[in-house]
Every structure is written in C-alpha cells, then in structure tokens.
Structure 1
Amino acid sequence: MENITSMEYKKIFNRLWDAYAEQNVSAKRVKELFESKGETVVNDHVAFRTYNDPRVNIEKLARIFKDAGYVEKGAYDFEAKKLKAKHYELPGVEDAPRVFISELLLEEFSPELQETVKKALDSVDQKALDDKELVFKGRPWNPVSYKTYEKLREESEYAAWVYVYGYRANHFTVSVDYLEHIGDIKAVNQLLKDNGFKLNSSGGEVKGTKEQLLKQSSIMADIIPVQFEEGEYHIPACYYEFAQRFEDENGERYSGFIAKSADKIFESTNYYKK
C-alpha cells in the first residue's frame, strides 16, 4: 500500500498534467505517440516560472511540493536570461518527477518592466498569492494587455510568458531513460520530426552531452489563442521536453541540471514559423 506522501505527490502531478495537456495539445499527442509504441511515459521533471517578488518567488511556489515531502537538491544561475532556479526531489521515490522552479531577477530589468510586474501583483488579493495551491491557479491578475505583453517580450520573453500565463506547469519532461523501445534521445527526436513536431534547435536539437551526464531536447511550444484586452491573439504557450541522464564514475545517475543547456531549452516558448 502506498504511503500518504506517495499518494499526495501523484495527486499533485496528475492535476498539473490535466491542465497542461488540455491547453497544450501537442504534449498530449506526443505522450499518445510514445504509448502507441508500447512505452510507459515517466516524467523526469516539471518546471514552473515566476518572478523573484517575495509574494510569488521560488519559495512560495515550492511550498506545496515541500509539504508533500520534496527537498531542495540544487540551485542554478542563468546570467544571460537574468534568472535563478532551484530543483527539488522526493527522497526514496525513484520515479517521482523532479520539480524545477525558476524566477526572474526583476531588479536587473528596466523600471518599466518592474512597474508592470508590481502593478499586476498589487492587483491581486494577498490571500490568493499566499494560497499553497498557487501552482494550479494560472494567471491571478486580470485583464492582460497585448501591448504590454509585446513590450515585456522586447526585454524578456520569460517575463512576458509569466504575465500572460501566471502559475501553471511551463513544461513536463519525458524521461528517456524509461523508454524501452524507442531508444536514445536522437531516436526520440527523429520520431518527433517524422510525426510533424517542431524541435527547439537553439544550440542544436540535443542540448548537453554524455560527458555532462545529461542530454535534453524539446518541441516548440504550441501557439494558442489568448484573450487580451485588445482582442484575441495567438502566442506561444507551453512545451514538452525530453531528458536522458547518465551515470557518473561512481555509478550514480546524474540528477541535477546544466544551466547552459537549460538556457537554450527556455527558448522553446519563443515565437517561430510553423
């Protein structure tokens, strides 16, 4: 019989997946494609984006996972994109997804960007931001302006994405290590391309190396309709990632993240031509 912690974390990720897959049809189609090949899809990690404002920072989003038994395992800096991140794991549960939460360093951006974010957060009741279930809430501020979105995107695609989508899974990640029939990450990528999915090619289709103990790839985010004050516009939403991990010289499978590779994976929510 499963313990309470095990049941709790599965409930959290099932709920996150349902909302993510409903909005991002490609992710659901990829999962179904893998399953049609006889695979069992296991999540390597689920990622979230936020701002470093204390009302919604990494620590705020991490609460629900910590309460389910997760512990902090790594911290990362993304100097080019002006981000910090942490990842969390559930001890003793090998196939439990890691949680990766990043935050935008607001103080490193223009006063205009800082004021836009502050205004959005100020418009939300503090109780809503204090809710432990914030990761399920989506965008807690309304309405949003397409003009503001575009202005934010000029400085930071990341800032603009959070402004529109708020708090939800930015991406799920298939663990290539658990795929028994498809093979390695290159075979995964080829299967995806053969079935019409567009890969993130920034820095190459495969980010990372066996020597670094982690290889990653991703499809580009779906372009979906979003209602703004000015009307409906089609913009990038969420994406699906793929991770293959390797053992170190001590026979331990690498469990962390590589900032240089993740930096390129972030670009899966950039605009692109279909």
Structure 2
Amino acid sequence: MKPEIALHLYSLLWQEYSARVNHARTYQQMITAAGGTVANDHIALRSLRLSLDSPKGQINLGINYLEQLATALGYVAAGEYIFPETHLYARHYSHPQQVEFDLPKLFISELIVDELPPRIAQLIYTTVSLLQYELISPVTDSLIEDGNVESIAQQLQKIFTRPWQTPQRSVVEEVNQVTQYGAWVLLHGYAVNHFTGYINRQNTIQYPDIDATVSGLINLGVPMKTEIEGDIACGLRQTATQAVTEMVTVLDDRTGAEIQIPWTYAYYEIAQRYPVEIEPGKHLLFDAFLGKNAQQLFEMTTHKLPASITN
C-alpha cells in the first residue's frame, strides 16, 4: 500500500508543480509527442535545520521533519552530502521497491541556520516562529494505514506548504543577500523544489540522451542552464531549465499589508545515469548523487535584487 500512496502523492504534487513551472510541461509535451515516456528520477525538497518549541514539544523544521514522511512511505536513507560553503546538508532516500513501482528517489536538503551570521539566523528564527501548528503534524504509521490511498495522499499533500505566516519583505531581501536558499524557504516553505526528468527512461529515438534532450528544449524556447554538470565516468550528467519567476506574497514593512513581489520558484531538472565500475569487471548503474553537481543546481534559484536594494 505504501508505494501506491507514494505514487498518488507524487501525482498530486506534480499537478501542482507543473502548473507553476511551465518548462516542466514543455518537457512532458515534447517527450510524449515523440512517443517517449516521462519518468521521474528524483524529487528535491528544501528545509531549515532549526528547532522550535510548540504545544506538542520541540519541532525540528529540517530534514528530520521531512524524513518522517519518507520513512512512513517506506524509504530509507541512502547517501549524505555536505556543502560547507553554503551551510547546507542533504540526504537522499531510495525505496526498496523503487524498480518494481517506478518510484523516484527523494533528495532532501536543509540550511544549517545556526551557522549563519547571528542577525540572519535571528531573522529566520523570528519568521518561522510564527508557525501555524495545524500545518505541522507528525507522519505516523496510523496515518498511512488509516483510510484509502487517495485520502491519505491528500492528507500528506498538506505537508508541502509553508507552515509559517507571510514573511516581511525586508527580511526576505536581507536573508537573500547571505543565503538565497534561506530566502527561498522563507517564501515557499516545503513546496517541491524540483522534479527531474529521467533521460534513461525516455525511450524515444528522437531524444536518446541528455544532449539531444537539451537541444530539443532549447529549440522549443525553454531557457536552459548553460552547462551539463558531471560526466559519464562519474555515472551522472544533469542539467536544468532556468527557474521560473512568479509573484509571491510578503508583508510590506511600512503598512503591514500583504503585497506581491516577483521571486524565483523552481526549475525542472533532467538527468542521465551511466554504469560505473564497483569492482573489477562489475558495473552497476550509478544510483546516487554528486555533491558538486548538486551545489551548482542549488544556485539555480538565486534571485538577484535590484541594485538599489543590494548596494
């Protein structure tokens, strides 16, 4: 039942994400029109490593919170990645029935807030402390087992929102100057950061590899990252569309009213995996991630403020 719940949940999340990221829809249409298959290599999520006191005890808003969901769906941690320069830590999770049910991997990262300059850390703490506790609830086995697949998936979908109240504009802009990742999470919360088209499963002569796929997307007017990260020897090559910009809601510092400003949301990634030698004469398809590649992709959501703000 758990794999079925996961698949239904991902379908709901894809509907929401692809409605916001038109580049993902273009990819889907391009591959489908060529008679190919749209498969998902992994889903990426972002979070904040910090704890808050609540009526129900301490709540960790980082990987530990999202890991509850991964574990409840049957996923297990399969690798970890450290990014000291940007104060990020990540784990990826795989499912033991990944092949049988065509389940994507999960790549969950967190910003280590306590490593940031004290003022920036305090701004983040103050913002997320305005928590709507009804949106933060533990994922238990009883929740997974109680009800039908569709209703459970709809309940779990509520996790992928922003559980704290609307942030102040000045806070988001100041945090952004130190950590674009932190500003992104303050605005978007636990919304899906990106889905990933899995090149190996496209099964279309027209787009046999990542290079042809990139060319196809560019021909359709999709703005792409300038480089493909990784190489065949490492077992993974990946790239992405540029992030879409959308209007987000923030609080005006002068009036306290909600206003709309443009900000980056998400990109669509594509990835191709290759066999790597794990022992003499034995090769397996690389099934993990490369830290350097991931760092490059983190930066795809960088939002550049006008000079009047950044100077």
TM-score range, shorter chain: over 0.9
TM-superposition CA deviations, 1:55-111 (whole Å, max 9, x none):
211021121121111111001101221100000011132131000000001121111
Deviations 1:4-32 (A, max 9, x none): 12211101211211221122222222212
- Per-residue CA deviation, residues 214-271 of structure 1 (Å, 9 max, x unaligned), is 0000001111111222322111101100111111122211111000111001121124
The equivalences for 1:70-109 within 5 A come to 70-94=75-99, 95-109=102-116
Matched residue pairs, number? 267
Please tell me whether the aligned partners of residues 240 and 268 of structure 2 are also in contact (alpha carbons under 8 angstroms).
yes
Superposition map of 1:172-183 within 5 A: 172-181=195-204, 182-183=207-208
Question: Given the alignment of the two structures, is residue 64 of structure 1 paired with residue 69 of structure 2, yes or no?
Answer: yes
| Normalised TM-score (structure 1) | 0.92
Q: In the aligned structure 2, how far is the partner of 1:131 from the partner of 1:165?
A: 20
What is the SS of the residue equivalent to 1:12? helix
**Partner Cα distance (1:26, 1:155) in 2:** 28
SS in 2 for 1:75: strand
Rounded to whole Å, the distance in 1 between the matches of 2:194 and 2:62 is 18
Q: Deviations over 1:150-207 (max 9, x none)?
A: 1111001100000000011100001010112211111111111111111123xxx100
Moved more, 88-97 or 130-139: 130-139
What root-mean-square deviation, in Å, do the aligned CA atoms of Structure 1 and Structure 2 show? 1.7
- 2:223 maps to 198
In structure 2, do the counterparts of structure 1 residues 48 and 256 end up closer, same or farther at CA, with 3 Å as the change threshold? same
- Alignment-derived partner of residue 225 in structure 1: 247
Listed as ranges, the matches of 1:10-49 within 5 Å are 10-49=7-46
Q: Distance in 2 between matches of 1:134 and 1:93?
A: 21
Taking structure 1 as reference, are residues 137 and 97 closer, same or farther at Cα in structure 2, changes over 3 Å only? closer
Which protein is bigger by CA-based radius of gyration? Answer: 2
From 117, 121, 130, the counterpart of 1:110:
117
Distance in 1, matches of 2:35 and 2:262, equals: 34
CA distance change for structure 1 residues 89 and 135 in 2, over 3 Å: closer, same or farther?
farther
Query: 2: CA distance between counterparts of 1:117 and 1:129?
Result: 17
Alignment of 1:193-272 (within 5 A): 193-201=218-226, 205-230=227-252, 231-249=259-277, 250-271=282-303
The more displaced of 91-100 and 236-245 is 91-100
8 Å CA contact retained: 1:245, 1:255: yes
Q: 2:222 and 2:159 mapped to 1: Cα distance?
A: 27
Per the alignment, do residues 134 and 156 of structure 1 end up closer, same or farther by CA in structure 2, a change over 3 Å counting?
farther
Going from structure 1 to structure 2, the CA distance change for 1:200 and 1:240 (only over 3 Å counts) comes to same
The Cα shift of 1:135 comes to 6.6
Contact 1:128 1:134 in 2 (8 A): no
**Kept in 2: contact 1:61–1:134 (CA 8 A):** no
**2:199 matches 1:171:** no
Q: Out of 214, 217, 222, which is 1:189 matched to?
A: 214
Structure 2 length-normalised TM: 0.82
The answer (yes or no) to whether the contact 1:9–1:65 under 8 Å persists in 2 is no
CA shift in 2, pair 1:134/1:116, >3 Å: farther
Identity %: 27
